[in-house]
Amino acid sequence: MGDWAEAKPGGQFGTAFRAWVWPLVLIVACPILAIWFWIVAVHHDGSVLAYAQSGEWFAHLPLPSGIAALIIVVWCAVQYVLLRIVPGKEYLGPPTPAGEQPRYKLNGVACYVITLGLTAGFGWYAPTLVYNHFGEILITSSLLSLVGCGLLVLKGTKWPTTADASRSDNLIWDFWNGVELHPRLLGVELKQWINCRVSMAGWAAILVLYAAAQIERTGNLDPAMAACVGLHCIYLFKFFWWEDGYFGSLDITHDRFGFYLFWGLMVWVPSLYCLVGLYLVDHTGHLDWPLAGAITAFGIASIWANYDADRQRMRVRRTGGDTTVWGKKPEVIEATYQTADGEERTNLLLVSGWWGTARHLHYVFELALATAWTLPALFTHLLPWSYVIFLAILLTDRARRDERRCAAKYGPAWDEYRSRVKWRMVPGIY
């Protein structure tokens, strides 16, 4: 929603609307939307029009339940235990403006594989348990996460992990945006535990369990579901393979840990990001295996392109430019910047390969992938495409935020980069 450094209500972000009205609207509206997605998908055949015409707008509201709370707690505990006990080397993230370096454990691939194995076993034992209680899981997780957001504000105020913690005079803003940049609890970085393990691994697990529910309910795994779930699982494997690179992303290095991230990871991801899989549980027979294979191939190509773009930039910076990109020595711009304590540092802006084509072309590959795993739902209803629409808005906004941050950080070097790489996301268009 906003770069932490520019989002304080007293700064350029500080209109009353953006400081408290808009955050409050989202805090109220997003939990309602998360449940609404489930209601339309499960009780109205995925049709927004059927929902609107039914008049039963509140007839299927789920209630919190003990079994839903148990599922959530067990899942979080399993991911915590895996993060702690599975071997992995320590990795220091990028320094914060206050000079702090968060500590992560690089064991994501092993934890992900173990998680998928445990999920498959659970899906064989109880294939429809999560599907049947998913509405209860969403409402229970939403309520627990809202309480958690309040506790995060309290922790950041009373017991901050690092000197980067910052309170404003606006409680709504602090609840929405968060107080701490890198909160640490129970010996782990909360962003790694909640974001990478509870949420991202949970994203894959939920879809695998949707596939198990489809098999239990229909007797077969439909090609559409196989393509959708397969692409998600491959993408998330790539995510964990590249986990150390993710620790340098905007989510981790600049967004504080409040409602925007914490509630979003606990509720918005399982609700919206998994929505196409939920829709496909009962929508079968409209896609054959050859077409599913073609869609899968397109999705894998998008995953590779996204990974290759990130790998190019990381390799150039790691080697100081002493490498090749697309068979040639890379063109770079040396950009200097100052940390909050006045120390001058240097970074390389890559002007070759994917990064010489558009400044945020990797976001286009992410949108292509989201399109690929949604295509199996075809176009009968708009609801399964909600994530693609959301992602397009999110990434367009994120590209703008990243541009503002880079302009403030690198100054003339960023102006030079923009003059050499003219397109923001889509070459020739935008």
Each domain of the chain, given as residue ranges in start order, spans 1-285, 286-430
Distances (CA, A) of 158 to 28, 154, 177, 260, 371: 26, 6, 17, 21, 44
Q: pLDDT by residue (tens digit) across 120-172?
A: 999 999 999 999 999 999 999 999 999 999 999 999 999 999 988 999 889 99
* Banded pLDDT at 340 (limits 50, 70, 90): low
Predicted local distance difference test score (pLDDT) of residue 114: 98
pTM: predicted TM-score of the whole model, two decimal places: 0.91
* Tokens linked to 6: 């520019």
Q: pLDDT by residue (tens digit) across 372-417?
A: 999 999 999 999 999 999 999 999 998 998 899 899 889 999 999 9
The backbone torsions φ and ψ at residue 231, rounded to the nearest 5 degrees and listed phi first, read -65, -40
The DSSP string of 185-217 is: ETTEEHIIIIIIIIIIIHHHHHHHHHHHHHHHH
